Chain A
Amino acid sequence: MFIAPRVADKKDWLSGETGDWELIIGLEVHAQIASKSKLFSGASTEFGAAPNTQVALVDAGLPGMLPVVNEFCVEQAVRTGLGLNAQINKFSRFDRKNYFYVDLPQGYQISQFEFPVVGEGEIEITPEDGEPVIVGIERLHLEQDAGKSVHDLSPDETYVDLNRSGVALMEIVSKPDMRSAAEASAYVDALRQIVRALGTCDGDMEKGNLRADVNVSVRRPGGELGTRCEIKNVNSLRFIRQAIHYEARRHIEILEAGGEIDQETRLFDNVKGETRTMRSKEDAHDYRYFPDPDLLPLELTDEFIAKIKADLPELPEARKARFVEQYGVPAYDAGVLTADKATGDYFEALAAGRDAKIASNWMMGELFGALNNAELGLADSPISAEALGGLIDRISDKTISGKIAKDVFGKMLAGEGTADTIIERDGLKQVTDMGAIEGFVDEVIAANPDQVEKAKQNPKLLGFFVGQVMKKSQGKANPKAVNDLLRSKLGL
């Protein structure tokens, strides 16, 4: 069914006892749509509510209830499809995927099997320490999430919360185009950035709002495809890499010992860093899909798609390239500044009409450092882009020195007001009046006759005098003027 023509870089080959092996990886990413209500009901999707308080009768699988599709969710699927450069299918259909589990009250999941809303596409990814790779998208379809089973509230019972039951997911299926753990994690990271930029999913992997099923197999480089195993529900980039490393080694060991790989579903144990068999029944995958008779086919008009296309935002890769071009920031910095939409917006507001290099230094240095220490996100920053810009303006017009600016920044962080307010209140304006500076210089020279003599022998002592003058001026003297005056008066 699948073909995998690209052969991995030699650096990504895995060596075994009997020769080299190549990893073949494909991913199914489940991304929760950032909607207020569920895919087929008007119950809330808010995270963290008390159990079973966000459940509509239809989510509980009660008889006689009819699902009605959420238009916003359909729009987000199309929007994401466009962001993945993928084909949008004007005709798609919902099917029932039948299986029994305690957190699936309907006895089936409503999904899209034969006719998904989004077809083939592709994205470019850049793995760490590697060249860009094009990863093909096989499809994107809409489906419902299941409820949540809690196994640790009772030793012999399972507790079920249906709040998540019916929440809209986009399942994004890649082609088996990745050849290393680094490529797989770069792919998930790229998808995460795309859905965040599009606003279709918040990409929060810790909450499970974006999670991946990882398909792994090994083959001789360029050779016949091997049998794959699917590792379910891996929810961090690090775990994805660990699971792949473990699984690849397991396959190689079995194959080199003359064994065969069983095609199966496995679970990743993130404490032990291992994968283990999850389902053993061979017919567990017999889902008996059929068109859901409760739902009519989804038919999208050209206008519906065009409207979404018209307000598609700039995507991270494009924005990164523009930052390098327009603001002259290095590619690495541009990557950090475009990692999500809010960061890019903050930077653009800050850099507007200012020196972009100074703006990015303040943002990535002082601001990110301070937010990091305070364990705050940019959204919770006590200093807005406008406020930080106000501070940078006072450095640019030489009202304060860069050193004083750092103190002012600290006070702004503590909520003491704008840069101008703090500079005014604390009298921090840089002294540029040469008469006043000369006064400080003369006082310092007069008070330190011994040092003056020594300085004439050893010009390195200039630093001592600069320090004394700055101290007298409470840091407000213009450092260049102080240096110049001292040099001429000490004859250095």
Chain B
Amino acid sequence: MAEPQHGVSSTDVKKIARLARLHVEDSQCGAIAADLNGILAWIEQLAEVDVEGVEPMTSAVAMKAPMRADVVTTGGIRDLILANAPKSDDGFFVVPRSVE
């Protein structure tokens, strides 16, 4: 299998992991990069298909978005909303301090 044209490096893996808030050990980065490159190379086979004059497919189903009327149909379910919160107080979610 050929190497993908725009390969993923260990640095890319580190960066993507950080953006996704995933902890990846430095020692794992090389292996993950190799796996990702394998997937990308496989997908790049699609580049062989001639798509001249074909509109980009934006969805797997040929239909447009169904729309909803502007009416209030839910709310007042605070206990349910907060049910899984590790901590809540006075109706709020409570999380570690996060201020810019």
Contact = CB atoms under 8 A, between A and B. Distances in A.
B88 to A, nearest CB: 8
A158 interface: yes
Given A43-B72, A283-B15, A295 B65 contact: yes
A160 B92 contact: yes
Interface bin, chain A:
35 or more
Given A36-B71, A36-B72, A283-B19, A299 B93 contact: no
Interface string A113-154: 000000000000000000000000000000000000111011
B70 A151 contact: no
Contacts of B96: 156-158
Interface string A30-70: 00000111000111100000111111110010000000111
A321 to B, nearest CB: 33
A444 B25 CA distance: 106
Given A43-B74, A68-B68, A296 B63 contact: yes
Interface string B85-100: 0010111111111111
Nearest to A54: B75
A297 interface: yes
B92 A52 contact: yes
A283 B72 contact: no
Given A42-B68, A70-B67, A100-B21, A160 B93 contact: yes
A72 interface: yes
B78 interface: yes
The dominant DSSP class at the B interface is loop
Contact of A68 (B19, B66, B94): B66
A445 B56 CA distance: 98
A320 interface: no
Interface in B57-83: 58-59, 61, 63-78, 80-82
A102 interface: yes
A455 to B, nearest CB: 74
Contacts of A157: 87, 94-97
Given A71-B67, A279-B100, A51 B90 contact: yes
A246 interface: no
A304 B18 CA distance: 44
A53 B67 CA distance: 24
Contacts of B76: 53-54
A291 B58 CA distance: 8
Nearest to B64: A299
Contacts of A151: 97, 99
Interface in A259-300: 267, 278-279, 283, 286, 288, 291, 295-299
Contact of B75 (A43, A160, A295): A43
A52 B100 contact: no
A159 B93 contact: yes
Nearest to B15: A283
A73 B19 CA distance: 31
Pick from B70, B91, B96, B99 the residue with the most CB of A within 10 Å.
B70
B79 to A, nearest CB: 9
Nearest to A98: B19
Contacts of A278: 100
Given A71-B69, A159-B93, A162-B93, A55 B78 contact: yes
A425 to B, nearest CB: 47
Nearest to B58: A297
Contacts of A68: 66-68
B98 A102 contact: yes
Contacts of B70: 35-37, 70-73
Contacts of B78: 50-53, 55
B89 A159 contact: yes
A74 interface: yes
Contacts of B21: 100
B98 A158 contact: yes
A277 to B, nearest CB: 9
A161 B92 contact: yes
Interface of A: 35-37, 41-44, 50-57, 60, 68-74, 93, 98, 100-102, 149-151, 153-162, 267, 278-279, 283, 286, 288, 291, 295-299
10 contacts: A42-B74, A69-B67, A71-B68, A156-B96, A160-B94, A279-B100, A283-B19, A288-B19, A295-B65, A296-B63
Interface of B: 15, 18-19, 21, 58-59, 61, 63-78, 80-82, 87, 89-100
Given A155-B97, A291-B58, 4 more contacts: A50-B78, A68-B67, A160-B95, A283-B18
